[in-house]
Structure 1
Amino acid sequence: LRCAAALETGQRAVRLAAQAVTYLEASPCQYEHAAARVEYGIAARSSAELERGLALADSCGADGLVARAREALAVGHAG
């Protein structure tokens, strides 16, 4: 779903990213969940989702993902 969302645009991309988050919430792989949250936050322009993704990424030591979330928040990719 994350890959499908990356290949889409507009509201379809947002819906697919949201579905990815929903499925990955129950996953034991925190990194994938964090990546989905960050991607969803960017697609939906949601600072709340970006903050959630940032916290998850930080908790699993995903420094690159933390940097991506912080950059998106700083440049205003979230509303």
Structure 2
Amino acid sequence: RHAAAVSEGQHAASLLARAVTYLEHSPCSYEHARARVEYGLVTRSRKELDRGLTLARSCGATGLVRLATNTLEEGRGLY
């Protein structure tokens, strides 16, 4: 996830996809939620942002909830 933060475009998306896959089976629910929201932001995916929002709510990550919610409500460029 951290490597993706200093990468751009498809490379960042690929790194975040790997982080999401790895963290799906991890007990670190906050890190999984964060990776999922970041992946949704980079890929502009409504589905991934929704999944990240659900995870963020389940672990009480209010900042991530706010970020995902605001992005989904704006809806610009999401598919």
Query: Structure 2-normalised TM-score?
Result: 0.93
Match of residue 78 from structure 1? 78
CA distance in structure 1 between the partners assigned to 2:63 and 2:4 by the alignment: 20
Match of residue 46 from structure 2? 47
Match of residue 63 from structure 2? 64
Task: Report the CA distance between 1:78 and its aligned residue.
Answer: 2.4
Match of residue 7 from structure 1? 6
The CA deviation string for residues 41-60 of structure 1, in whole angstroms up to 9 with x for no partner, is 00111000000000000011
Task: Report the CA distance between 1:73 and its aligned residue.
Answer: 1.4
Query: Structure 1-normalised TM-score?
Result: 0.93
In structure 1, the gaps of 5 or more residues are none
- Identity over aligned pairs, percent: 59
Match of residue 34 from structure 1? 33
In structure 2, the gaps of 5 or more residues are none
Task: Specify the code of the residue in structure 2 equivalent to 1:74.
Answer: E
Task: Report the CA distance between 1:74 and its aligned residue.
Answer: 2.3
Q: What is the count of residue pairs matched by the alignment?
A: 78
CA distance in structure 2 between the partners assigned to 1:72 and 1:41 by the alignment: 10
CA distance in structure 1 between the partners assigned to 2:71 and 2:8 by the alignment: 18
RMSD across aligned positions (CA): 1.0
